Chains A and B, each alone.
Chain A
Amino acid sequence: MLAYIIRRILATVPVMAVVAVFVFALLHLSPGDPAAIIAGDTATPADIARIHQALGLDRPLYVQFASWVWQLLHGDLGISIFTNLPVTELIAQRLGPTVALTISTLVVSVSAAVPLGVLAAWKAGSWIDRAVMVFSVLGFSVPVFVLAYVLIYLFAVRADWLPVQGFAGLDRGLGPFLAHLVMPTLALAMVYTALIARMTRASMLDVLAQDYIRTAQAKGLANRQVLLGHALKNAAVPIATVIGIGVALLISGVVVTETVFAIPGLGRLTVDAILRRDYPIIQGIILIFSAAYVLINLLVDLSYTLLDPRIRY
């Protein structure tokens, strides 16, 4: 077991290495002088030279890569071109709202999707099942920002129940914090919920067709016990997997959601960095988000042994 955990953790090293090489190579494989592109159309040669210096582009490529990795391993993501502040500091400032939004979406999605999927599989072919499937197709089709605007129109413009945009930290009290979080969470949760509900239903349908389910029903167990105790337990591994993989959707969605709702998080930082072509920030954010994704999927992998004691490594 311990050997497995160590092996699994070591397996994330090449993945993160590829991410790091990709992020580094992006800047150097792009056509033209990256400094000129970052500086924009109105740049003077002095501006370009300054960016050259700031990014260390005047040194040989392998030296640049080695020093970049060395800094990375020391938790240094470089200096923002536009603000001249360390990227780690900028990211740390913006982490709170993004983490709050992501966690609330995760909680809402999982606690809505799993019961919906279980119900749809149990009542397969019924109107509940159809409704869940229609919801999941719609969830995949309506992009997060379209849904966000529908919600803003309904609950903020027409009804004036919720704030149109912005974010309130917990320090301003639980009420404002939650009020600002409701619409972004709902918008972001739609596609994630659709994904998990679909997989829960599929996985449950497979398990419900097994002999031991018939046995459990035949010996007179309550439906609740069969569904949750026998079926869901055995269907859990694919559901956990899709929750982990879906985090990629969640991260993509966060960037858009924060833009629509003007939430000062990492997504907003990304968009500002794109508009200013502040490349060190974009690099840092991709590394952070990818590391989070890899870490979450590592935890999901390790959870298999808890979810299903038959899995031994």
Chain B
Amino acid sequence: MSITPAAIAVAARPARRGAVWRHLRRHPTIVIGGVLLGLMALAAVFAPYLGTVDPQALSPIQRLRWPSAQHWFGTDMLGRDIYSRTIYGARVSLTVGLSVALSTTGLGLAIGLVTGFSRWADALLMRVMDGLMSIPAVLIAIALMALTRASLGNVILAITIAEVPRVSRLVRGVVLALRELPFVEAAVASGTRADRILWRHILPNTLPPLLVQATYTAASAMIIEAILSFLGAGTPPNIPSWGNIMAEGRSLFQVAYYIVLFPGAFLSATVLAINLLGDGLRDALDPRLARRM
């Protein structure tokens, strides 16, 4: 999807407060997504107080129990409580989503601004980004994880490296489009210093599309984390993550499908919430795209 100067000019216009409320009323998705995500975040933060037990506690007598009043989501083959594991798993997913969104935004912004303003850096860095973008993100992450010891930090790092090219391309596109706009031209003509143009005129206008991109990156990062863990190359098995729980339920699916069901449903619901939020933000910040998509 291309970013035209017109789209940025529209996005840059400040919205009035009344218009915000009217917009929220007409686009309930942003509210639904926000509330759902908020609930998930609360569950992650207050996991110990939500009727959970130690998610790692083994109980060999109570192996593979179906969901009941005692074990709301049942137990796995080691007798661990799946409800507790799923609630604690929200911590992993949300941590990964948030960390990757923040780090790709920071790195992407830096690379995008530099390439948007320096011709030789552009030629070099964009060739590298093109190359990285032609490797599917999951494969980059798999390759990086195969070579490092499994840890949550390494998972975040691997997914960040896989996602950075897309963000820096976006920033570069916005910067190149902005450079052609009259207000930047005017600033240049009136002798404004380059660094001031960058900070005062260019940077603020890259933020709306970056914010939208950050939500999509968070959603994508959570899916990739789950995939890595599911394949056995992600979060270490001693940390309950949705991908890990599903991996453990894989071979038992035909006798105990509930092991896969609950973390799968939580993962889908969280990603859905973030996508709804992202779509809502995009509609709010860029009316031209909103009409199209």
Contact = CB atoms under 8 A, between A and B. Distances in A.
Interface of A: 14-19, 21-23, 26-27, 30-31, 34, 37, 137-138, 140-143, 145-146, 149-150, 152-153, 157, 164, 198, 201-202, 205-206, 248-249, 251-252, 255-256, 259-260, 270-271, 273-275, 277, 279, 282-283, 285-286, 289-290, 293-294, 297
A141 B276 CA distance: 9
Interface in B255-293: 257, 260-261, 264-265, 267-268, 271-272, 275-276, 279, 291-293
Contact of B223 (A17, A143, A289): A143
Contacts of B233: 274
* Interface of A: prevailing SS: helix
Contacts of A283: 143
Given A252-B136, A252-B137, A293-B136, A145 B227 contact: yes
A274 B231 contact: yes
B147 interface: yes
Contacts of B260: 146, 149
Nearest to B131: A18
Given A22-B132, A252-B138, A279-B146, A15 B232 contact: no
Contacts of B149: 37
A289 B143 CA distance: 13
A145 B143 contact: no
A21 B142 CA distance: 17
* Interface of B: prevailing SS: helix
Given A37-B149, A157-B257, 5 more contacts: A14-B127, A142-B268, A206-B292, A259-B231, A297-B134
Q: Which 3 A-B pairs have the closest CB atoms?
A: A18-B131, A252-B138, A141-B272
A173 B6 CA distance: 56
A141 B231 contact: no
Contact of B139 (A150, A205, A252): A252
A18 B131 CA distance: 5
Given A146-B264, A282-B146, A290-B135, A255 B231 contact: yes
Given A27-B147, A251-B136, A286-B143, A14 B131 contact: yes
Contacts of B132: 18, 22
A202 B293 CA distance: 5
Contacts of B192: none
17 contacts: A18-B130, A19-B131, A22-B131, A26-B144, A30-B144, A37-B147, A37-B148, A137-B272, A138-B272, A146-B260, A146-B264, A146-B265, A202-B293, A255-B138, A274-B232, A277-B146, A293-B135
A259 B268 CA distance: 19
A139 to B, nearest CB: 10
B145 A274 contact: yes
Given A141-B275, A143-B267, A255-B231, A290 B223 contact: no
B128 interface: yes
Contacts of B272: 137-138, 141-142
B46 interface: no
A249 B260 CA distance: 23
Given A152-B253, A206-B292, A251 B145 contact: no
B138 A140 contact: no
B268 A141 contact: yes
B15 to A, nearest CB: 23
B156 interface: no
A16 B134 CA distance: 8
A239 to B, nearest CB: 13
